[in-house]
């Protein structure tokens, strides 16, 4: 318990309105925290339109702020409301601030965006900092290529917050795979706040939940997942072309389109799936872990969460990374391939079906992540619990480069 003898409270902010990455990462962290702390309460602030599709632990709840989406020209617009985007953003900032003010968290964790979407968390950070609340910025292992990230952070003017407001920066990965700020000019005072936690282990479903989410095959299959699916058409199309080319493929495939794939694209792909006896497809499964656990291999785009699932369930993986608008997936997949954790197939614009068919045939025989020894690889959730406990206890322990060494 904290000094005023009430149950511990953690507030997590996730700006996402599109995609699944930030939400699923925050959910995994929230569940790990309450699993280790039976009297803790966690609230997730999120703009995700599908957050209600996910199940949450008893001590975890969410507050959904109005959604916004980013247009191709970089501007934002309201996702559902007939409001000016500035009005929507003002509502979001007000809800975030009021929730933090009333909930009075013992720790505030901000996911990826130091000031939130268009600076919407700035006032909340200042208010909580004035109260003495520990503030944490949580970063995935790769943000973007340095040539793009540095000017983006300069434009958003995030450095004062990193220097003056945040207490720690948790990187959910390992430096030997990637340091997201390695080539970014940041002050040493900010560098000293960084702690590498290791990657975030995912849970295997058990009991009824596992039985409810099984693949429609009675033999080993490949799971093809483009994550949220909003930019996954290339991956799905290339895999379908491979099965259309190689009618004797030894392993069937289960495609998961993702909830954000355009409806007309899903319909086009579904018609092609109907003509392929070796392929089945579903739109979305919020509890995808049993499908991953049962697969002989994973074919994916290589987002952060999928990478954690590949590591957790120790699956041979073929990654076709997205290269625009960010090179995050390409950087992660390239480094992981160098270490022998997975294999990568680059979209060259031609997308030779025979190349994909060959890769799919070889996938189940590929090495598994566990064949490579990387100390602390999946220590992320244990590290987050240890770091959060230290912050809440108010202890002043020296920071270390690898969180797995903290409190040892």
pLDDT band at 173 (very low <50, low <70, confident <90, very high): very high
**Euclidean distance between the first and the last CA atom of the chain, given in angstroms as a whole number:** 22
Predicted pLDDT at 334: 96
Query: Any idea what the Cα angle at residue 359 is, between residues 294 and 374, rounded to 5°?
Result: 65
pLDDT of residue 395: 40
| CA–CA dist 384, 381 (Å, integer) | 5
pLDDT > 60? residue 406: no
Instruction: Give residue for tokens 């080539």.
Output: 183
- Percent of the chain surpassing pLDDT 70: 90
**Rounded average pLDDT over 51-57:** 89
Q: How confident is the model at residue 402 (pLDDT cuts 50, 70, 90)?
A: very low
DSSP 27-82: HHHHHHHHHH-TT-EEEEEE--TTGGGS---TTEEEEEPPPEEE-TTS-EEESSSS
Given this model, what pLDDT does residue 407 score? Answer: 39
Contact 126, 160 (CB under 8 A): no
Residue 19's nearest CA partner among 165, 183, 228 is 228
Three-class DSSP category at 398: coil
pLDDT over 50 (residue 191):
yes
The pairs formed by 163-166 with CB atoms below 8 angstroms and a separation of 24 or more are: 163/187, 163/189, 163/190, 164/129, 165/125, 165/126, 165/129, 165/135, 166/114, 166/125, 166/135, 166/136, 166/137, 166/193
Please, which pLDDT band fits residue 213 given cuts at 50, 70 and 90? low
CA 281 and chain centroid, separation:
23
Q: Which helix (H) or strand (E) holds 138?
A: strand 135-140
Residue 225 pLDDT grade (very low, low, confident, very high; cuts 50, 70, 90): very high
Do 331 and 178 contact (CB within 8 A), yes or no? Answer: yes
Is the pLDDT at 113 greater than 90? The verdict is: yes
Count CA within 13 A, CB hemisphere, residue 165.
Answer: 25
CA geometry: angle 390, 391, 397, nearest 5 deg: 55
Cα-atom radius of gyration of the chain, to the nearest Å? 21
Q: What is the pLDDT of residue 229?
A: 73
pLDDT at position 227 is: 81
pLDDT at 284: 84
Tokens representing 361 are: 């045939």
Band (pLDDT 50/70/90 cuts) for residue 363 is very high
The CA distance from 18 to 266, in Å, is 17
Q: What is the C-alpha separation between 54 and 348, in angstroms, rounded?
A: 35
Higher pLDDT, 364 or 323: 364
pLDDT, residue 147, reads: 83
Split at pLDDT 50, 70, 90, the class of 74 is low
- Residue 78 is predicted with a pLDDT of 78
| Phi (first) and psi of residue 258, to 5 degrees | 100, 145
Cα–Cα distance between 40 and 1 in angstroms, integer? 9
CA-CA distance, 64 to 49, in Å (whole number)? 8
Q: In angstroms, rounded to a whole number, what is the distance separating the alpha carbons of residues 81 and 182?
A: 40
Predicted confidence at residue 60, as pLDDT, reads 97
209 has pLDDT over 70:
no
Kindly list the structural domains of the chain, giving each domain's residue range(s) and its CATH number in brackets, ordered by start: 9-201+378-405 (3.40.50.2000), 207-371 (3.40.50.2000)
Which residue would you say has higher pLDDT here, 225 or 84? 225
Task: Please give the pLDDT value at position 212.
Answer: 60
Two tokens at 389?
Answer: 């406990």
pTM of the model: 0.90
With a cut of 80, say whether residue 169 has pLDDT above it.
yes
Q: Is the pLDDT of residue 403 over 60?
A: no
């Amino acid at each position: 318990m904290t000094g005023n003898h009430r149950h511990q409270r953690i507030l997590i902010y996730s700006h996402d309105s599109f995609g699944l990455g930030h939400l699923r990462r925050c959910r995994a962290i929230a569940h790990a925290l309450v699993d280790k702390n039976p009297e803790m309460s966690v609230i997730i602030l999120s703009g995700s339109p599908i957050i209600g599709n996910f199940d949450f632990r008893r001590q975890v709840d969410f507050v959904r702020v109005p959604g916004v989406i980013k247009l191709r020209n970089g501007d934002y617009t309201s996702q559902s409301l007939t409001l000016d985007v500035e009005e929507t953003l003002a509502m979001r900032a007000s809800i975030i601030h009021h929730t933090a003010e009333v909930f009075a968290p013992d720790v505030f964790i901000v996911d990826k965006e130091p000031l939130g979407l268009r600076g919407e968390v700035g006032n909340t950070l200042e208010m909580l900092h004035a109260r003495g609340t520990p503030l944490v910025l949580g970063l995935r292992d790769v943000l973007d290529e340095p040539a793009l990230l540095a000017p983006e952070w300069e434009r958003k003017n995030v450095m004062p917050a990193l220097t003056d407001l945040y207490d720690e920066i948790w990187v959910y990965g390992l430096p030997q795979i990637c340091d997201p700020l390695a080539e970014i000019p940041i002050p040493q005072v900010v560098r000293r706040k960084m702690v590498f936690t290791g990657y975030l282990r995912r849970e295997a479903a058990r009991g009824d939940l596992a039985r409810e989410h099984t693949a429609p095959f009675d033999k080993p299959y490949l799971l093809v997942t483009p994550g949220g699916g909003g930019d996954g058409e290339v991956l799905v199309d290339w895999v379908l072309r491979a099965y259309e080319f190689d009618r004797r493929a030894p392993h069937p495939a289960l495609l998961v389109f993702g909830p954000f794939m355009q409806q007309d694209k899903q319909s086009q792909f579904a018609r092609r799936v109907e003509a392929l006896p070796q392929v089945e497809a579903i739109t979305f499964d919020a509890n995808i872990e049993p499908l991953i656990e049962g697969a002989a291999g994973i074919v994916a785009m290589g987002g952060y969460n999928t990478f954690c699932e590949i590591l957790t369930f120790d699956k041979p993986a073929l990654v076709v990374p997205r290269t625009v608008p960010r090179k995050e997936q390409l950087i992660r997949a390239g480094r992981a391939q160098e270490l022998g954790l997975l294999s990568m197939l680059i979209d060259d614009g031609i997308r030779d079906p025979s190349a994909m068919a060959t890769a799919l045939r070889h996938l189940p025989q590929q090495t598994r992540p566990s064949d490579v020894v990387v100390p602390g690889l999946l220590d992320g959730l244990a590290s987050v619990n240890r770091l959060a406990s230290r912050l809440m206890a108010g202890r002043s322990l020296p920071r270390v480069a690898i969180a797995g060494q903290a409190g040892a």
